Structure 1
Amino acid sequence: MTFRDGGDFELTPTQQAVVTKSWNAKVLVTAGPGAGKTTTLYHRVSHLLSKEGLQVDEIVVLTFSRAASRALRQRAQDAAPPGRRTHVRTFDGWAWSLLREGGYTAEQLAGYGFDERIRLAAEAVEHGDIETAASEPRHVIVDEVQDLVGVRREMIEALLDRYPDAGFTVVGDLAQSIYGFQVADPDQRVAEANWFLDWIRASYGEELDEFHLVDNFRARTAEARTALKYSAQLQRMSEDTETSAAKAAASRRLLWSALSNAPDFGGLDSAFVRDSLQNFVGTTAILCRDNGQVLLLSQQLNEACIPHRIQRSPRSGAAPAWLAGLFARTDAVSLTQERFEEFFMGLDVPDGADVRQVWRGLRSVAGKARNQLDLEVLRTAVAEERLPDELTVAPEHPLTLSTAHRAKGLEFDRVLIAGFTGVTTAGKRQDDDAAEARLLYVAMTRARDDVYRFACPDRRMIRKANRLPMPVDRWYVGARDRWMRSGVEAREFDVCHEAPAGVGMSVADPVDTQRYLVELVRPGDAVVLRRLHDMPMSAVQTPQYGIFHEGRLIGQVSERFRNDLWRLLKQSASFRVQRWPYLVTGLRIECVETVSDRKAVTDRHGLGGRGMWLAPRLFGLGRFDWSHSETVPEGDKAL
């Protein structure tokens, strides 16, 4: 039997062998970068549905990253029967759905962290709650199993243990295991490196069919294939604990040496480099070791007027702005597909958006009988941040700036690598060398054609705030004196979503502000945070800050931002904060997003009764302006 992927691409014999295994087979697939994992899993789903007789609800498909989830979901949808949707979810998303179906409210779940929700889901699986919440799974597909550590690993082990008669297809590559840092205990982190693969081999023994995909369909040049030869060595690092430290250090040195031999792309002070980044025909990624480097490079790119997109956290998708436009166009409680498509044609949607794919995505969270869309259920999904990944992903951009972690599962025509070193810092553990080697391997295997070295700015003054007297989960700008604070990172939750911008303020009209956000605010635009008054919003918060675009108020910061800024400014647990930055400059618009809250607020202020409006989302590394730190100038106060 021969399978073809779309056009002329023919599956390899090993891929075909994986695809055609029976529904109850226990299959482990190891595969390197660019080996066709997504294609193989797509055809696997198709085979299970068309040849093995399984129903869509009997297949559980789980992936680690939203990028992988989105890619596989888009492909797998073609394999599903008309009107049925193949459910492909991240581990976190599946845990949320399982708990919601089991009776938890969105408000209850919002009070738990990601790991706590995963732990609750694992307990629900062990107690058999999945049988009442959904169809009993007959086949489980898990991608990126090398990154299953801690509670996520325990959840998948519980799922496979609970249904011993079900088949499974699990796919991974130990050489790309880069999420061990999620395990806090260093000794446990080392033990987790190969835990799941060891467990699955020991648990299923001769029942297990194991395959290895050896071909690479991504790399088109010798330069892009440079790191692939180190795959086997990286996979063996954890097999012999007595020599693993030496292996890890040696692997890191080898990969660094290979990167050192790659050409230097040049610096942003070169007009040629700036032109190449702006006008390259193809996709480029600048991959960094950590988010501090990403923030600094983004600042430099902005100063050089080079448009780019930051690859954000996989958990921070934004509801697209056109959704607010959809709700503004109709008072109906539901829409047919035909009526939705009429509205969709008049909305400001990204170029190339597929209306049928969007319709399927919306129906997955708000579908009702007779192929209709329930708009009230959709509004709730927006409020609970439950939109599917394909609706919340940022539009593609020719230049992406990302950490290597967040680029996992992605590929680009050329990759510029910044911020890595081949030096083992004194006092570091063996698992640090192993993690660094694997992370550099992931970065170097994202390219189709070219790999370059790229200079990373000095980030000695850019620090994580999680070790301060009052810890904060964000980066900040320090100084030579450890107590000094010179700036702070903007996060996806830093804009107030309690009411539309301008509500309760004399300096902005809510209706005009919404129109301004639609017509004049674009991704990458500069914004300034300005302190609106001198009164702290609580004993553990700063005063309120407005978000200004070209001098116009377009939003206010959230309670989370005010609290984090207050904590950041605390020099010690007993220190009393009495001075606040007047301005925070250097921030940018990531996007304008749709948010949802109280219907009465929008109804009272001329924005309709849906409880939907637009708000900016921020990113970047802000810098503090300490002028007027004690008193806001009288003419700038806005209460």
Structure 2
Amino acid sequence: MALEVVGKEDLALALKLPAESAGGPARSAIADWIRDTVALCGAIPRDELIERSTQLCTGAGYSRELSHGRVERVIKVLLATGDINALDTSSGSLIFSSAGTRISVDNDSDALIGATGIGQADQAEKSVPLCRRVPAEAGSIPLVDYLGYPKIAESFPELDPADTPDLRGVALRLRDVATRQNSEQLPGKWERVASLSGSDLCLMTDGQGNWALGLPREEGTAATCLLDHPGQAGWLYLGMRGIVAFSEWPEHLAIPDQILRALGILAIPEDDTFRRWDVPAAAQEFLLGWLGLDDVQADGGADPDQDRVILAPVSARLLVEAAPGSGKTWTACRRVSQLVNDGVAPTRIVLLSFTRAAVTEIRERIGSLLDEPDFASDITILTLDAFVWRLLLAAEDRPDSISGHDEAVRFVVSCIEKGERDIVSFLSRIEHLTVDEAQDLTGDRKKLVIALIRTLAHQCGVTVFLDSAQAIYGFTNADSRAFAEELGEPRSGFRTVHLRNDYRTQSASLKKMIAAARPVLGAPSQEPSEVYRTVRELIEDSASGKVPAASNQETNPADGRTFMLFRSRAEVLAATNSMLREGRRFRVRLAGGAGIVEPWIGAVLGGIEGEVVDARQVADLFGQLSPPPPVPFEEAWSIFRRHAPSNGAGVDLHRLAKLVSSPNPPTEIVRTDLGYRTGPLLSTIHAAKGREADTVHLMLPRWPERPDTNWMEEARILFVGASRARRKLKIGSSTSILRPLQGSRGRRWRPFTRHGRPDALVQTGIPGDIDIEFQNDPAAWGGEPLLAEARERLWRHALRPRPLRAVRDGDRCRLELDEPGGRGGTVGWLSRQFGNDLWSIGEHVCGTRSPPPAVFGGIWLLGVTTMASSSETDGQPRIGLAPVVTGTPLVHFSPKA
């Protein structure tokens, strides 16, 4: 019936008009005819639908074989998108129509899904997705809601189904596990299907639905690590390859159904295999955010400027001026990996970066570029402060105690200048030193780096990366010139290389802004305040729109690649707490990028007595933990053994506890972003330094009003924030109503008197607010069983923000989960110092010493960290868990009490 109604001859002509390069009818025309046929018939056997469609194409002059294969694949995609449905019966598969649905694809267009009318063949073109597009209308279903959360948890049950998965992180962890295990070859006949980008690891199948990770052996590639679920293979490939995966999906590797659903709506198939898709830029942006993918680009090789750095001799000394997006980190990683691949011992290479996040990213990138990925763990890749502590440990006459990083830096500088034997000996073994983000080195740290370079052996190479336009830590233009001149002077042996090409920015307006702002910042001819005005106006002109206050911004899983950047920590605090109150999903970067120690460590090892633990004990504890840890036992044990091995085959808990409580724990056990994995990242501009996002919401501060404003630094800060954007920059405004509390360690507050009540907003969650010793003392909890219950409670709530309330308990406040009837349970203790600050604020507000309330809310459990404290009985360190809290609770004081 359908053929007569639609008109066979007209459709044959329509199919023939947009003929494709392969000599077959347009896939979009076939899709239109199939949708309309199913809608008219109501239901039709699949085999009959394929045959009728093939006959139609053959009648239009196309080959039967080509047409038949194309029809089958179009039907598969239409089933994935929901355009048509299928029901398996005893006599075969029955195809029937879907209810009509409009999906909001972007601001301008909707996708039509299902039975929404016939006669759409005139829209058939080669350059459109299989799903029909029409102008946008109000009330359409958002695409992210139609697709739902990525269903990676169906293949990886240990992952939370409500979070955007870290696909690349999962793939990298499995790669590391497989590489370290170096397992025996799996029995059977295995075929290599696809390599995982940047490593020797590959996906292999036995043709029976089983998949494994393969590693190279002398006799060829061998399957060594069986995947738990066949669906893992496609997700792992996507995680390692990123968007590039859709340009050539491997044969025999199934595209996950949910991904095929998205591609059918957003992308255009490029050939009849339906393994090559053209994904438009806007669709790429959505997929990256929805899937939580890194923007993994195909490695097109280095440009001539980058080659001058990467291929320079090991002993070369280079000062690399690198503009935003010029591939600085990529070049640094390629430089180091090239040195190792050329034979330089990894243990003799040092790379110093500015932030922990950058250190973690750099190590992963270098590992993916090495011929032997395991060598990445042998390279010294540290923040400058962490490297200082390593030098401090090498010093023979180091003091018994050092109060903070700054004092440690000054002591090490003095040791180097005096030629301290052990430190000089340590430095003499380095063959190449790389310093990243050198423009952020000021004062004693700049002095330290210059002292380091001058102490290195003459044949030791050095590569220093900097960009004075991105100096945001009190680094003046005079400092920049002095630093460059000291390194660039003839006797130093340095030469300068400029990286000019912008590989990051994909917006013409943003490229124009960066190109215009850099010369203004680099060699200003205007007054500093006018430089600030010029840069701010350039940023505002380049923005693609405005956004409301943080608490009014809607968030969804596709916001995973959006940064919301603020000038100050106080503004981040205000936005964090307003978004928590509104129930928004987001992540927040901790102040200063400090980070927390992964909570699974304390959840597994908390409460263990003794000095050494063996693999069997840890494996048993892993199995008892609920929910299970996010890393497999093998990886966790490898981390423990790498950083705290005992003399035997166990792990030294005393050593591990010292690492956990040290100022610089290993980067692989540190997390800097807390909250949900989905939604935008809230951060100061300083803490986002070195990172980038598809979309940036730059929350501009009020115009500076202080007479001592450093206008140049403020201009550079705004420039750094704006240049974090790859594709889109939007601007908003922000402010903070809190003020510093005199005599405290940085706490902020504000009087909030209403109806005559003397209240105050009080910042909660600054360093020292959680009493670590009390937190891990069984006596404080009423015994070890109650402390163990608290650890279990913290672990259960480690990954989701939860509201808390504070209950005064003597000279401290007890933190409880804020649940009806007080059934939430205690998770921690606020310190005496927090209580003292509350009393001080009460005196400010009331004019007399006034007690805080017995109970108050407005505090949030933002995350959980592993910590260590000394036992009261034997002085041995104990590993445990502590809450990470935030909030600006409204505290009511009682002057009459």
Give the TM interval when normalised to the shorter protein: 0.7 to 0.9
CA-to-partner distance for each residue in 1:392-416, whole Å, 9 max, x for gaps? Answer: 1146543211111111111122111
* In the alignment, structure 1 residue 390 sits paired with structure 2 residue 668: yes
Look up the match of 1:121. Answer: 412
Q: CA deviation at 1:444?
A: 0.9
TM-score normalised to structure 1 length: 0.80
* In the alignment, structure 1 residue 157 sits paired with structure 2 residue 450: yes
* In the alignment, structure 1 residue 579 sits paired with structure 2 residue 869: no
Q: Which amino acid aligns with 2:739?
A: R
Give the conservation status (yes or no) of the 8 Å contact 1:177–1:438.
yes
Aligned residues: percent identity? 23
1:21-100 alignment, distance < 5 Å: 21-51=312-342, 53-78=343-368, 79=370, 82=374, 85-100=378-393
* In the alignment, structure 1 residue 170 sits paired with structure 2 residue 464: yes
Q: Distance in 2 between matches of 1:169 and 1:602?
A: 48
Q: Which amino acid aligns with 2:349?
A: I
Q: Distance in 2 between matches of 1:392 and 1:596?
A: 15
1:618 to 857, 863, 885: 885
1:412 to 676, 682, 693: 693
Give the conservation status (yes or no) of the 8 Å contact 1:18–1:27.
yes
**Larger RCO (CA under 8 A, 6+ residues apart):** 1
Look up the match of 2:826. Answer: 553
Look up the match of 1:536. Answer: none
Secondary structure of the structure 1 residue equivalent to 2:387: helix
Q: Distance in 2 between matches of 1:156 and 1:145?
A: 9
Q: Which amino acid aligns with 2:817?
A: H
Q: CA deviation at 1:488?
A: 2.3
Q: CA deviation at 1:94?
A: 0.9
Q: Which amino acid aligns with 1:117?
A: A
Give the conservation status (yes or no) of the 8 Å contact 1:233–1:251.
no
Structure 1: 5+ residue runs without aligned partners?
182-188, 534-542, 604-608, 632-639
Q: Distance in 1 between matches of 2:482 and 2:849?
A: 47
Look up the match of 2:212. Answer: none
1:262 to 532, 544, 566: 544
Look up the match of 2:793. Answer: 516
Secondary structure of the structure 1 residue equivalent to 2:318: strand
Q: 1:356 to 1:190 in 2, by over 3 A?
A: farther
Q: Which amino acid aligns with 1:614?
A: L
Look up the match of 1:451. Answer: 729
Q: Distance in 1 between matches of 2:311 and 2:627?
A: 39
Secondary structure of the structure 2 residue equivalent to 1:108: coil
Q: Which amino acid aligns with 2:434?
A: I
Secondary structure of the structure 2 residue equivalent to 1:504: helix
Q: 1:384 to 1:164 in 2, by over 3 A?
A: closer
CA RMSD of aligned residues (A): 3.7
Q: Which amino acid aligns with 2:316?
A: A
Look up the match of 2:431. Answer: 138
Range that drifts further, 338-347 or 399-408: 338-347
Look up the match of 1:289. Answer: 567
Give the conservation status (yes or no) of the 8 Å contact 1:602–1:612.
no
Give the conservation status (yes or no) of the 8 Å contact 2:606–2:880.
no
Give the conservation status (yes or no) of the 8 Å contact 1:287–1:418.
yes
* In the alignment, structure 1 residue 197 sits paired with structure 2 residue 484: yes
Q: 1:113 to 1:244 in 2, by over 3 A?
A: farther
Q: CA deviation at 1:193?
A: 4.7
Q: CA deviation at 1:370?
A: 8.8
Give the conservation status (yes or no) of the 8 Å contact 2:804–2:860.
yes
Look up the match of 1:539. Answer: none
Look up the match of 2:275. Answer: none
Look up the match of 2:214. Answer: none
Q: 1:230 to 1:486 in 2, by over 3 A?
A: same
1:102 to 380, 395, 408: 395
Look up the match of 1:225. Answer: 511
TM-score normalised to structure 2 length: 0.59
Secondary structure of the structure 2 residue equivalent to 1:280: helix
Q: CA deviation at 1:168?
A: 0.4
Look up the match of 2:598. Answer: 320
Q: Distance in 1 between matches of 2:752 and 2:652?
A: 53
Q: CA deviation at 1:323?
A: 0.8
Look up the match of 1:636. Answer: none
Secondary structure of the structure 2 residue equivalent to 1:41: helix
Q: Distance in 1 between matches of 2:650 and 2:717?
A: 45
Q: CA deviation at 1:356?
A: 7.3
Q: Which amino acid aligns with 1:216?
A: D
Answer with 1 or 2: which has the greater Rg: 2
Q: Which amino acid aligns with 2:826?
A: L
Q: CA deviation at 1:355?
A: 7.1
Q: Which amino acid aligns with 1:488?
A: Q
1:460-609 alignment, distance < 5 Å: 461-465=737-741, 468=742, 470-478=743-751, 485-499=760-774, 500=776, 503-505=779-781, 509-520=786-797, 522-533=799-810, 543-550=811-818, 551=822, 552-565=825-838, 571=844, 577-599=849-871
2:658 to 380, 391, 394: 380
How many residues align structurally?
582
Look up the match of 2:535. Answer: 252
Q: CA deviation at 1:29?
A: 0.8
Q: CA deviation at 1:495?
A: 0.8
Q: 1:227 to 1:585 in 2, by over 3 A?
A: farther
Q: Distance in 1 between matches of 2:314 and 2:620?
A: 41
Give the conservation status (yes or no) of the 8 Å contact 2:804–2:816.
yes
Structure 2: 5+ residue runs without aligned partners?
1-196, 200-297
Give the conservation status (yes or no) of the 8 Å contact 1:488–1:623.
no
Q: Distance in 1 between matches of 2:530 and 2:523?
A: 6
1:14 to 284, 305, 308: 305
Q: 1:577 to 1:366 in 2, by over 3 A?
A: same
